[in-house]
Chain A
Amino acid sequence: MSDRPVRIAVDIGGTFTDLQVLDARDGSVRAWKTPTTPEDPSIGLLRGVAEAAQRFGFALADVGLLLHGTTIATNAVLERKLARGVLLTTAGFEDVLEITRHVRRELYKVDPDPFPCLIERDRRLGVPERMRADGTAELPLDEAALPGLLARLDALGAEAVAVCLLHSYVNPAHEQRLKALLAAARPLLPVSLSSEISPEIREYERSSTTVLNALLMPVVKAYLDRLEGKLGEGGFAPLVFLVQSNGGVCSLRQAAEQPARLLLSGPSGGALAAGRIAQLLARPNLVAVDMGGTSYDVSVVQGGRVSVVTQGEIDRLPVRLPMVEMRTIGAGGGSIASVDHGGRLTVGPRSAGSRPGPVAYGRGGTEPTVTDANLALGRLDPDYFLGGMMKLDMPATRAAIADKVGAPLGLAVEPAAQGMLTVVNANLGAAVRLSLFEKGLDPRDFSLLSFGGAGGLHAIDVAAEMGIREVIFPREPGTLSAYGILYSDLVQDIARSRVMPALPASLPAIVALVAELRAEADAGLARDGVPPERREISIAADMRYHGQAFELLVPWPEATELAPLLARFHAMHRQRFSYADEAEAVELVTLRAIATGRLPKPEAAEHAPEARPALKGSRRVFEDGAWRDVPVWDREALPPEDRITGPAIVEEPFATHWIGRGWTAMLGPAGALIARSDA
């Protein structure tokens, strides 16, 4: 889609903006990092691009494609820096947004907090109208109510309007008419219709998604306007795409209209990378774990595909849009260890975060964390943390572990620190096991893909715990998301809910819906400049047995005949839930089109090792009950023929990896370090 040779992927995190630069002229893939500029992330982004251009020797005008991962929407929600919005909804149902689904998350909590509600009660306005489930109008939209609504909108100072009417997923006519009337009366007011952003059955989830979308529209638009305003400077005029929650990218236009699609995009980069690595290493079954400071994210690549679900949530607010499936537990480098009154040692979910952070950071942290335990045992080098950018405070770390864990348990510092790691690794292992177990999968059929700043020190122990025999440490584990984004495609999801029996009588209606979805999907790709030969549209259906309250997502490639669809549904149901009943009535709930615009994938060249000794030296590490000299390897200088025998440490500027006793590691394709159990 662009014949300029350089493609850049950018992942903007809280602290750093990570870049990966692929130059098709020599196949080089290189990483760069620059501090994030939170007040306007586009400043840091452009600075990073300019720095990378200078460092790696390309011209700004050579950049044809900028693939942009951003937390701008996510942060706006978490920090509540959102537009002042109003919700228009069917009269009599204004409180659906506040009632939520009303299940509590913490059983014993007697002072629960309400679920967040982004539009309060006085800003939720009822519209006289009512659709039925079959799409007919029981009460037509009362247009005479419009002047009153407009007066309220003005009085409330509305900066954005969300519209969610009952059953609009079947018949959006009332929502569309409202939008037209609003556009005529208040042309500058952003309006988001539930039937456009998430036309799916279940009013609370659809309302929540629409409200998030509406309140984000002005925020994200302002950012994209700033970014676009800067394009063209110094000849830097690439096509720009944004990373969505579904593991694909979208155009600026789409992102401005449907910013809720960016909300859960954080895991997309990692999952894309996992998918890419699964392909490059010919390992179709990977369980990918991303361990950072506060959380541990587990996702599964099965048969080469990253699993996607149709709903996620942010800050306890549901987002009914496709996203990469992920299990998250509160365990990371910053997880705090403590001993309770009964003498029980727990690690996490409380976290020291990055401020004050672990005791070792010397920023005022007093409670020992997982990172502190790694330092105390010698697995981390106090003088080579973040490539030597930060010195770690060993005496304070040992004192905190002795005081807060060792003394109450009657243990010396080393066994106390070892105990902290044992406990946290058991927790991580349980999360991985459950992620696979709930899909009916066996850990022994999987390789563990470890990334994130803190992952490398725990992966081998977690794998050993699970009976996983191979661990893959990809190159640059700290910027892996950006690497994944580099190989993304345009993906547009379109959905229509219509509860129908999966019977021949429904087929004409289904076929008509599919045709509508295809046409819309194709037009969407065309609008984003995808040439016809690079467009792919696949159809899937959310299906269930009559009486069930949740659906299975069933692919339907042919999308013309019911028999193969039903057969696939029964088979999936059997695999996932251990039974199927072909005599039972099956329903279709939602039809989906997944439109993919394939972006060209230039080949990357293999990396050459740095010309310096791979074996850096050794250091004292507490391992298997005693202090020992353990070799320390320099990942960047490692040649393909070297074998690393555990126990050993492998260091690179932003990560340290622990190769345990009984494991051997070597370089594999794409610069990945592959460790295998000798057992």
Chain B
Amino acid sequence: MLGPIEIEVIRNALTAAAAEMDVTVWRTSRSTIVRELLDYSTAVFDAEGNNLAQSARIPSHLNSMSHFLRELLDRYVDPATWGPEDVVISNDPYCGGQHLPDICAFKPVFHEGRRIAFVGTLCHHIDVGGLVAGSYAAKAIEIFQEGLRIPPLKLIENGVRNEGVWAMIRQNIRKPDLLLGDLQSQIASLEVGAAALRRLATRYGAAGMIEAGRRILDMSEQAMRAAIGRMPDGTYEFTDWLDDDGIDLDKPIRLHVSLTIRGDSISVDLSGCSPQVQGPTNATLASSNAAVMFAVMCACDEPFAANAGCYRPVTTIAPEGLVVNARHPAPVVHRIAVTHRLLNAMFGALHQAVPDRIPAAYYGNSYVCTFQTVGEDQKREVLVEIEIGGTGAHPSKDGVNALSAGMHNNSNIPIEMIEAQAPLTITRYGLLPGSGGAGERRGGLGLLREWRVDSPRCFFTANMDRFVHAPYGLAGGGPASVGRLVLARDGAESPLPPKSDNVPLQQGDRVRLETSGGGGFGDTAKRDAAARARDRALGYVAG
């Protein structure tokens, strides 16, 4: 029987193992998306696939690997034949994954002949084939167009590479050296994690490791239940909307949450969400669960160790065939949009339970756009930008202007870096006055960014939302502004569709994006005079 001190030391050691795995990916990966956008996660699981410790910077990855691994163990890989030198990979959303660019790799860890744990690594890969470079096609209508689907399989078996699989992947993707390099680094990080766990197991034994894992999960579950128990019982409903799926324009997608708190558990019924859509704005359960869990953990009043124990008091009900639990072969690459809006809806429901804790809606959207410039000499440069907006006002303070919020977390690219590398000029970049929702607490401001094309030709791709349905205010606070995407050509301005593939642009064209701020909180009449004066002095409000 381990004491509380050993448990905490083991818990820290598991977190440190995930951190070492993380450093390994960072140190050894090839593509910029992994190392600069830090779009990867590493985790340690118990012998049944429950997440014990994780190193994640992106909320959409939370819980998702554990979900994937449990699906693999339940349906796709016989645990009895999964040996210590076997690495299983998959990216298939219909086997427990989120979307095709995210390839997960898992490996079991054995000690004294017993499986004591799993280690896993998730990387967002730069390209997995499909309709468009980067595998982010806005107009895909089935998953087959989104790239190579890797079913759960042993990429390495008994320590030997399955060369046929490597060759198969190589043949089907645009940047094989980068993808396979990043995959190598995932495998290297699994070994680093496994070694750390074996080191730990020599001190505590297989039985000790298993007992520690169980107790670590129980402790987090207990802390989570205590936190939920402090929330008032009741059923709370909320609806928010995605503008459309990019195919059926003007057909909004409903995200409806009915959240019931009873005692120390929460059930989240998503049955009221729209049916799945034609375009890639769909999610599988791995994605939707991540948004549900993230929302509940944000609403708790005490920080605690995030692991699979936290998931136990929370049940998600999501019938298949809905936008939050899409049925094969729906396209899903833009699942982040669904999770952003689902998080908005979850917060709207949780606000009714714990009104002093939950902010109004953040911009709720990854403003992804790509410029592919083509020079006189046919030289191509690709710029992928992910813009953000303002955060929602909180009951106790104003929202923050221009801060990565909600399901994603990314930085901007320096203007000087862009201009030094591609024939593009950023002609304006600033906060957007008036874009935050009004209220006793004002929502944070969105952004304005404008690009000018300096090459003879350029192709523009976008995948954005919140152009019709604004981020909501709460408790009487006003909504934030909606986004705008404008093409300025030869002195005239015209709107650009926010979900579009390969729009041809010419030299001198300017593309201007205005992003949403965050919603306001509370009655505007109650906003104090000093805060109003400051808003006017700093030009945070329009006019």
What is A's interface to B at a CB cutoff of 8 Å?
Answer: 92-96, 98-104, 107-114, 120-122, 132-133, 138, 166-167, 169, 201-205, 340-346, 409, 411, 415, 418-419, 422-423, 426-427, 430, 433-434, 437-438, 440, 499, 547-550, 576-579
Contact = CB atoms under 8 A, between A and B. Distances in A.
A550 B36 contact: yes
Contact of A438 (B23, B400, B417): B23
Nearest to B410: A103
Interface string B220-255: 111110110000000000000000000000000000
B403 interface: yes
A121 B540 contact: yes
A121 B537 CA distance: 8
A122 B540 CA distance: 10
Which 5 pairs, one residue from A and one from B, show the smallest C-beta to C-beta distance? A342-B223, A419-B5, A342-B219, A95-B430, A111-B394
A113 B359 CA distance: 13
Nearest to A205: B414
Contacts of A205: 414
A92 B430 CA distance: 7
Nearest to A577: B27
B226 A202 contact: no
B502 interface: no
B59 interface: yes
B9 A423 contact: yes
Given A95-B402, A430-B13, A577-B29, 19 more contacts: A94-B430, A102-B388, A102-B411, A108-B303, A109-B298, A113-B400, A121-B539, A169-B416, A201-B417, A202-B416, A340-B302, A341-B223, A341-B227, A342-B218, A344-B11, A345-B5, A430-B12, A430-B16, A578-B188
B230 to A, nearest CB: 9
Interface stretch (B93-101, B268-276, B419-427, B478-486): B419-427
A579 B30 contact: yes
B438 interface: no
A257 to B, nearest CB: 24
Contacts of A103: 404, 409-411
Nearest to B309: A342
A121 B538 contact: yes
A24 to B, nearest CB: 46
B32 A104 contact: no
Contacts of B357: 110
Contacts of A102: 388, 402-404, 411-412
Nearest to A100: B402
B257 interface: no
B173 to A, nearest CB: 17
A interface majority secondary structure: loop
B304 A342 contact: yes
Contact of B419 (A132, A422, A549): A132
Contacts of A120: 538
Interface-central residue, A132, A342, A345, by most chain B CB under 10 Å: A342
Contacts of A576: 27
A116 to B, nearest CB: 12
Nearest to A576: B27
Nearest to B537: A122
A40 to B, nearest CB: 34
15 contacts: A95-B429, A96-B429, A99-B401, A102-B404, A108-B298, A109-B298, A110-B394, A341-B222, A341-B223, A345-B4, A346-B8, A411-B3, A422-B9, A434-B16, A434-B20
Contacts of B409: 103-104, 107
A667 to B, nearest CB: 33
A343 B227 CA distance: 13
Given A121-B538, A423-B8, A166 B219 contact: no
Interface in B385-419: 388, 391, 394, 396-397, 400-405, 409-417, 419
B416 A201 contact: yes
B431 interface: yes
Contact of A409 (B4, B188, B419): B4
B462 interface: no
Contacts of B404: 102-104
Contacts of B402: 95, 98-100, 102
Nearest to B12: A426
B412 A99 contact: yes
Contact of B36 (A201, A427, A549): A549
B297 interface: yes
Given A93-B429, A113-B400, A437 B23 contact: yes
Contact of B20 (A167, A423, A437): A437
Contacts of B419: 132-133, 167
Interface-central residue, B185, B388, B400, B428, by most chain A CB under 10 Å: B400
Interface in B350-400: 357-359, 388, 391, 394, 396-397, 400
B28 interface: yes
B181 interface: yes
Contacts of B299: 110
B415 A427 contact: no
Interface in B272-307: 294, 297-299, 302-305
Contacts of B20: 433-434, 437
Contact of A547 (B27, B32, B447): B32
B304 A344 contact: yes
A110 B298 contact: yes
Interface string B22-57: 010011111010011000000000000000000011
A422 B400 contact: no
B19 interface: yes
A447 to B, nearest CB: 21
Given A104-B404, A434-B20, A549-B36, A201 B27 contact: no
Contact of A98 (B358, B401, B416, B425): B401
A201 to B, nearest CB: 5
Nearest to B37: A549
Nearest to B230: A341
B181 A579 contact: yes
B353 to A, nearest CB: 14
A340 B403 contact: no
A578 B299 CA distance: 41
B305 A344 contact: yes
Given A103-B410, A434-B20, A344 B8 contact: yes
Contacts of B32: 547-549
B5 A423 contact: yes
Contact of A427 (B12, B57, B221, B394): B12
B429 A133 contact: no
B429 A99 contact: yes
Contacts of A345: 4-5, 8
A415 B3 CA distance: 10
A434 B537 CA distance: 46
A330 to B, nearest CB: 14
Contacts of B429: 92-93, 95-96, 99
A167 B420 CA distance: 9
Nearest to A544: B32
Nearest to A202: B414
A112 B59 CA distance: 15
Contacts of A427: 12
B428 A92 contact: yes
Nearest to B427: A92
Contacts of A108: 294, 297-298, 303
Contacts of A109: 298
Contacts of B298: 108-110
Given A98-B401, A99-B402, A133-B420, A201 B414 contact: yes
Contact of A578 (B8, B27, B391, B420): B27
Contacts of A547: 32
Nearest to A103: B411
A264 to B, nearest CB: 22
B285 to A, nearest CB: 21
A370 to B, nearest CB: 14
A325 to B, nearest CB: 15
